């Protein structure tokens, strides 16, 4: 072909005329490798995406399974297309080694699954062995309190719990999972009599709710199978969080249907005491009140005049096991003084918590009847404190500040952010002895906690320095137990009347801000247990969810600061220098 013909566009061949026509099947066969890779990538991606949806979005289980199914189908199609490659990978030389590894892996997984199902079967039986379940959380949130277990062991008949709630949305499903976890633990720890539960959707089965007399949801209908006694517990809205029911609500229902009496603890109000119903304000004592609820006490808030009404009824069941007076700052009225004195003369039990320099004179006058004096000033301790304030007392067992006593047994540390101290109004050796045969002191004091010898009662808050002429040196008693068979000037009480008091020179330690710190909660609850004569309940308890602050001394704080700033960079620099020295 001449050059002239080649340059003629009419004679020159077009691109379409020179392209080789390839059938569709042959084109797919030629691009099999790319298709296999795309199928494998999309299949794995879809399967992983479905698993993530199932794990993190529990309300979308259906779509998650669909996405995982699509991924699995794509992987199966990819395996069929790549059958030759799969056969070579499985039965080839390298495949045989891989098959051996796969067999070992499958055997290991099978054994693990069998062991896991065996343990789950053992755990699901009533009252499983304690060693089968170990809760590693700091608050022991997955195990029942020992007092709850004791309640279950004392059931008088089988119990059925009907859970009435809707689970057709994400919040309802999450709330049911938490509720089922709690109730399954109740069922596992039930003793001689079985505790069972079932869930009913009141929208689908409204007749069940009607027969049980339940009109508010979500609710628990706790029913004695034999006695047919029924107690309904109303929960919170699932939209507010998944914890719609608490252990204490279930235990209270069990106590009601089994007619097990609960002891009453009354927090006295009317003199600017701390609020035991508020769990949000840091200066209130709502967490302390909840802790007593978990010990199966009925917590009430009353004035001393209302307490006087109880005393006048003369019904033992109406009397409180103990009263708590937390941080009063206003004087007692004359009628209040008489009621408090009457309660003491009946052999009552009182927990006093005072703050430094604000205790009203009428409270001091009441305590002086039993030879107890409240010291002036605020305790300062340079030997054991939380930096930077020596008045933030740190009570340590290692310092000898916690002498042996059942209330503080096992304690390591207490924190008291500002405390007063106690003493005798008379010489202890002059306390009269009473009783026939073996005589005992009319009044006795036992030390629970004190400051160190490097402490004093600071009366001038503007100058933290010990004045040997005007201030009292340590160690200072900041928590004491007082037992009185009568009054110094009033004679002996009745035969079975003995007043028990625990005096703690700080109210802040039991507030929401410090209740979860160290052994603070244990001190408060143990003190109530001691006064209510529930000695078997005195123990070191697991901590509740609360404001858990870390308090450090000045030396501990400096160590954390400098080690965080310098230790890791120093170690990394040493390792880098050593590596450079080896490679140079």
pLDDT tens sequence across 84-130: 776 766 666 666 666 777 788 889 989 998 988 888 777 666 666 66
Which pLDDT band holds residue 189 (cuts at 50, 70, 90)? Answer: confident
Which range, of 264-268, 293-297, 470-474, averages the lowest pLDDT?
Answer: 293-297
User: Please, are residues 218 and 242 in contact by the beta-carbon 8 Å criterion?
Assistant: no
* For residue 300, pLDDT beyond 60: yes
Tens digit of each residue's pLDDT (9 = 90 or more) over 47-79 = 888 888 877 775 677 888 898 889 888 888 887
Q: What are phi and psi of 401, to 5 degrees?
A: -90, -5
* For residue 150, pLDDT beyond 90: no
Neighbours of 105 (CB within 10 A): 10
Mean pLDDT of the chain: 84
* For residue 210, pLDDT beyond 80: yes
Q: Quick one: which of 294, 366, 377, 370 has its CA closest to 328?
A: 366
Which pLDDT band holds residue 330 (cuts at 50, 70, 90)? Answer: very high
* For residue 563, pLDDT beyond 70: yes
* For residue 9, pLDDT beyond 60: no
How does strand 349-353 pair with strand 372-374? unpaired
What's the rounded Cα separation, in Å, for the pair 170 and 434?
A: 68
What pLDDT was estimated at residue 22?
55
User: Please, are residues 340 and 266 in contact by the beta-carbon 8 Å criterion?
Assistant: no
What pLDDT was estimated at residue 301?
95
Which range, of 34-43, 278-287, 461-470, averages the lowest pLDDT?
Answer: 34-43
Compute the average pLDDT of residues 158-183: 90
What pLDDT was estimated at residue 338?
95
User: Please, are residues 111 and 103 in contact by the beta-carbon 8 Å criterion?
Assistant: no
* For residue 183, pLDDT beyond 80: yes
What pLDDT was estimated at residue 567?
77
Strands (E), 431-527: 433-434, 440-441, 443-450, 455-458, 477-484, 486-487, 491-492, 499-504
* For residue 214, pLDDT beyond 80: yes
Q: What are phi and psi of 329, to 5 degrees?
A: -130, 0
Share of residues in the chain with pLDDT > 90 (%): 38
Which range, of 76-85, 127-136, 154-163, averages the lowest pLDDT?
Answer: 127-136
Q: Quick one: which of 104, 493, 81, 512 has its CA closest to 287?
A: 512
CATH no. for 142-257: 3.40.30.10
What's the rounded Cα separation, in Å, for the pair 103 and 85?
A: 20
- For 526, counting Cβ atoms within 10 Å of its Cβ (0-12 exposed, 13-18 middle, 19+ buried), the class is buried
Alpha helices, H only, 82-205: 83-91, 93-124, 146-153, 170-188
Rounded to an integer, what is the distance from CA 437 to the centroid of its chain? 49
What pLDDT was estimated at residue 169?
87
What pLDDT was estimated at residue 495?
72
Rounded to an integer, what is the distance from CA 14 to the centroid of its chain? 82
What pLDDT was estimated at residue 469?
85
Which range, of 261-275, 457-471, 512-526, averages the lowest pLDDT?
Answer: 457-471
What pLDDT was estimated at residue 275?
94
What pLDDT was estimated at residue 90?
65
Neighbours of 311 (CB within 10 A): 16
Strand partners for 255:
none
What pLDDT was estimated at residue 29?
54
Tens digit of each residue's pLDDT (9 = 90 or more) over 372-420 = 999 999 999 999 998 888 999 999 999 999 999 999 988 999 999 999 9
Q: What are phi and psi of 292, to 5 degrees?
A: -70, -35
- For 506, counting Cβ atoms within 10 Å of its Cβ (0-12 exposed, 13-18 middle, 19+ buried), the class is buried
Question: What is the domain partition of the chain in residue ranges?
Answer: 21-112, 142-257, 264-548
What pLDDT was estimated at residue 576?
83
Compute the average pLDDT of residues 324-341: 95
pTM, rounded to two decimals: 0.61
Among all chains, which residue has been given the structure tokens 């010489």?
A: 427
How does strand 499-504 pair with strand 477-484? antiparallel
DSSP label at residue 543: P
Which pLDDT band holds residue 2 (cuts at 50, 70, 90)? Answer: low
What pLDDT was estimated at residue 247?
82
Q: Which helix (H) or strand (E) holds 570?
A: helix 568-583
- For 86, counting Cβ atoms within 10 Å of its Cβ (0-12 exposed, 13-18 middle, 19+ buried), the class is middle
What pLDDT was estimated at residue 144?
75
Give the angle subtended at the CA of 524 by the CAs of 332 and 322, to the nearest 5°: 50
CATH no. for 264-548: 3.40.50
What pLDDT was estimated at residue 374?
94
* For residue 534, pLDDT beyond 70: yes
194: left (phi over 0), alpha (psi -120 to 50) or beta: beta
* For residue 232, pLDDT beyond 60: yes
């Amino acid at each position: 072909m001449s050059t002239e013909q080649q340059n003629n566009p009419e004679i020159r061949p077009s691109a379409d005329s020179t392209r080789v026509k390839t059938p569709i099947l042959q084109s797919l066969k030629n691009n099999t490798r790319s298709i296999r890779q795309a199928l494998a990538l999309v299949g794995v991606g879809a399967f992983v995406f479905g698993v993530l949806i199932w794990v993190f979005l529990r309300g979308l289980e259906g779509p998650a399974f669909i996405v995982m199914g699509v991924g699995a189908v794509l992987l199966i199609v990819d395996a069929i297309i790549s059958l030759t490659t799969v056969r070579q990978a499985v039965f080839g030389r390298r495949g045989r080694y891989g098959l051996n590894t796969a067999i070992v892996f499958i055997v290991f997984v099978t054994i693990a699954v069998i062991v896991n199902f065996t343990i789950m079967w053992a755990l699901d039986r009533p009252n499983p062995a304690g060693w089968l379940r170990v809760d590693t959380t700091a608050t022991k949130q997955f195990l029942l309190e020992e007092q709850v277990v004791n309640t279950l062991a004392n059931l008088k008949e089988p119990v059925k719990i009907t859970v009435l709630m809707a689970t057709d949305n994400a919040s309802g499903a999450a709330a049911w999972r938490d509720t089922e976890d709690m109730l399954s633990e109740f069922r596992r720890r039930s003793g001689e009599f079985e505790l069972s539960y079932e869930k009913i959707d009141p929208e689908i089965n409204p007749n069940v709710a009607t027969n049980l007399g339940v009109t508010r949801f979500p609710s628990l209908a706790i029913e004695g199978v034999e006695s047919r006694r029924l107690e309904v517990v109303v929960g919170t809205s699932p939209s507010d969080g998944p914890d719609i029911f608490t252990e204490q609500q279930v235990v209270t229902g069990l106590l009601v249907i089994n007619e097990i009496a609960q002891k009453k603890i009354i927090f006295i109000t009317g003199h600017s005491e701390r609020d035991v119903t508020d769990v949000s304000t840091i200066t209130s004592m709502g967490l302390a009140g909840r802790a007593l609820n978990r010990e199966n006490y009925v917590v009430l808030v009353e004035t001393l005049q209302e307490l006087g009404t109880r005393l006048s009824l003369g019904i033992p069941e109406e009397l409180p096991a103990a009263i708590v007076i937390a941080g009063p700052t206003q004087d007692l009225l004359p009628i209040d003084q008489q009621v408090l004195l009457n309660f003491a003369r009946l052999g009552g039990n009182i927990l006093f918590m005072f703050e430094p320099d604000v205790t009203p004179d009428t409270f001091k006058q009441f305590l002086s009847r039993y030879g107890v004096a409240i010291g002036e000033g605020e305790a300062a301790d340079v030997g054991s404190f939380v930096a930077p304030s020596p008045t933030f007392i740190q009570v340590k067992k290692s310092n000898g500040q916690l002498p042996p006593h059942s209330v503080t047994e096992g304690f390591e540390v207490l924190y008291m952010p500002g405390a007063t101290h106690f003493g005798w109004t008379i010489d202890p050796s002059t306390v009269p002895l009473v009783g026939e045969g073996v005589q005992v002191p009319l009044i006795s004091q036992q030390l629970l906690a004190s400051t160190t010898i490097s402490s004093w009662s600071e009366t001038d808050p503007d100058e933290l320095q010990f004045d040997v002429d005007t201030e009292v040196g340590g160690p200072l008693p900041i928590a004491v137990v007082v037992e009185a068979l009568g009054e110094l000037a009033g004679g002996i009480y009745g035969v079975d009347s003995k007043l028990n008091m625990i005096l703690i020179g700080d109210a802040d330690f039991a507030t929401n801000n410090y209740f979860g710190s160290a052994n603070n909660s244990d001190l408060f609850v143990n003190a109530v247990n001691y006064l209510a004569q529930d000695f078997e309940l005195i123990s070191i308890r697991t901590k509740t969810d609360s404001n858990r602050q870390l308090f450090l001394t000045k030396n501990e704080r400096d160590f954390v600061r400098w080690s965080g700033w310098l230790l890791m960079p120093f170690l990394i620099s040493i390792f880098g220098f050593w590596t450079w020295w080896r490679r140079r």
